[in-house]
Structure 1
Amino acid sequence: MIRLPQAGGGLRPYEPRTEPAPVDAAGGPPSSRIVFSAAHVVADPFADVGPDGPAAVDWDATLAFRRHLWSHGLAVAEAMDTAQRGMGLDWAGAAELIRRSAAEAKAVGGRIACGTGTDQLTGPATLKEVRAAYEEQLALVEGTGAQVILMASRALATAARGPEDYLEVYGSLLRQAREPVVLHWLGDMFDPALRGYWGSTDLDAATETFLQVIADHPDKVDGVKVSLLDAGREVALRRRLPNGVRCYTGDDFNYPELIAGDERGFSHALLGIFDPLGPLAAQAVRVLDTGDTAGFRVLLDPTVELSRHLFQAPTRYYKTGVVLLAWLAGHQEHFTMVGGLQSARSLPHLSRAYELADGLGLFPDPALAERRMRALLAVHGVEEHA
């Protein structure tokens, strides 16, 4: 029995599982859907750095986690917001992460796509400077052999005067891209600095600009990742994509129904929640490969409560819960994050994340997870026998 803090105050007893949920052995990539997991970075807990200093990354543990995801047949979406891009990981750290992860992907035969943005810009920038920053990162990612994900840019959101500036900048980048890219529309719930992206705070108007970018360069767009946490809007957008352009759901609230799809199509996946759910997510999609949509939903639907908890507002701090679960699952030896972000969620929030994940059987060693959760509680003053 373990006593967990509640949101309303006080402690309540919880009986942890004694066995993990059975999960199929690691296997090849699913065949019916392309499934990316956005992956977190593991901080170096012994580095003498402050919250405003450059990120200190434990490269061995970070790459080991990516091998874990690849071993289950998942693709890795690298240097995205799940890796604390722009929230502790600066461009220098992201560039090193991209180089190392792309090399590791080649070594193990794993699929990888990497985020390309403008985060080397630290102040107000002109459109020319925004385009040049994108081009620098585009060249680096393409040079590693990884697929490009064109991320939304805070600098572009500030510099753009209207939709025409987005059309010009993205058009220039897509003409230069060697291979089809993934366009990423990240909603302002994930990053408030992206409010009004695509030139309008009206999402209907923004959608038209987004679709125009794709329509102008359909041969250079592999797909779009939509992170708006609005299933209806994603489905409507998905139905308007040109033939051959995929929709990768980034909706961490509604992913089972979007991946399952309907009679008019489905979404592939590029999700931060598939970092802690990796093996279970891969198993579920392999069930979907057989045509068993009901079996897929039986496996994945119960995980939505955990995902909605981790991604609750302020959504951008979901990374804290993701790293907590990686530590409890034994993928890293500590609960330290770059930028000190382990302090971004409350103890009751983290306790509930542990309870939900344990209830799903996500921890390969439930006893280890329980010991580590007890240690975290003790650091916060929860006595073992009060």
Structure 2
Amino acid sequence: MKGEILIKNAKLADGRGEHGSADVLIGEGRILSLTGGDASTVLDATGKVLSPGFFDPHAHLREPGQEVKEDLQSGLTAAAKGGYTDVVSMPNTSPVVDSAEIVRALKEKAAQIGRARLHPAAALTQGQEGKILSEARLLREAGAVMLTDDGRTNEDAGVLAQGLQYAASWGLLVSVHAEDAGLRRGGVMHEGKVSFRLGLPGNPAYAESARIARDLEVVRYVIQGPGMEALRSGKSLLHIQHLSTRRGLELIRQGKQDGLPISTEVGPHHLTLTDEHLESLNPIYKVAPPLRTRTDIEALVEGLLDGSIDCVGTDHAPHTQDEKELDLLRAPFGIPNLEVAWPLLYTELVLKRGFPLPILIERFTDGPRRVLGFSPIHLTEGAEASLVLWQPNNQRPVEPSAFASKAKYSPWEGWMLQGWPVLTLVEGRRVFASEPLL
């Protein structure tokens, strides 16, 4: 059998488990064989792990209009370097992604760039103003995979309910930034002992849980309506972004037990950093929702383990260096993390805490794909060859100056991590390869 790439001696691991070593033959965009064959390019993957490509359900790529922070070229290159084959881009750009024309333009440009695949999210409401719903059908036909006003909270429960009904009729997921604006107010960090000691305005954990509780009630209301029987089939209707609190997780867990069609994600920063990092007054740790407590981290790790949390979403949110060097009150929320998400969680969870590798892979691959209605990718003959090869033993520090992203700073700078990707394939096509594999 003749292929294009032969990856020899690769250890196989996907969301179903670890499967030993194989010689993986790739051609015509698919896995042709797990027992070798002839190929024009042969790579020795001894000591490396081959997994399905990662899927990020939540990234800010800043195009159109904010290209000084990031653009599709830099963002999708960073994604491929981080092992991601697929990325969902958020719509809070300038202009807002709320029309079919913008969605199509983004898809076309991303295809020309040829790095990670782009799946645009579009705004739930026109201009993300929370008032008039966007045209879900037209956005879906143009290629949008999700509707969200991320970056703004949906204050009008009635608009959210109508949006859920309308989006569901066209097979679209609605994703929400779950924070109550009245409780959050001007908080720049988690409200607690550290914020009180520093004299900084705090954002309480209850801002998140209060909004989650309301949104779950909106879902209960919507699925009881006429013609909504299909929404009780198990597919997610409402996706709660960047979960950060133990209490929010408790509400989501109960909602799932009640059979609500909901899902959620957690970001790498909310699994590895706490509000105590703000003792430095360094705005590099300023994110929304804010970094919480060690107790919240422990709960979120457990939720990721037991499946209450469906997937990892990076919430990659790049800004310029000048913006992030402002003081804590004025600096924008957000950090870049597409290039470090996998090695960070592999190191901090799998190596240091014994978190099962197949489950972490599942939360980076099958989990987000399932939430968005995509088919899973497993390491079997005939499967799509959208894959990542990564090095489990090669330890090196996080070096933001080497990021492909335009945002060359990181709260994890200098952390020694393992698990760095060395090769990313999208349908058998190399979109990233580290120097030894070129």
| TM-score, with length taken from structure 1 | 0.48
Structure with the bigger percentage of strand:
2
Bigger helix fraction: 1
TM-score of the pair, normalised by structure 2: 0.44
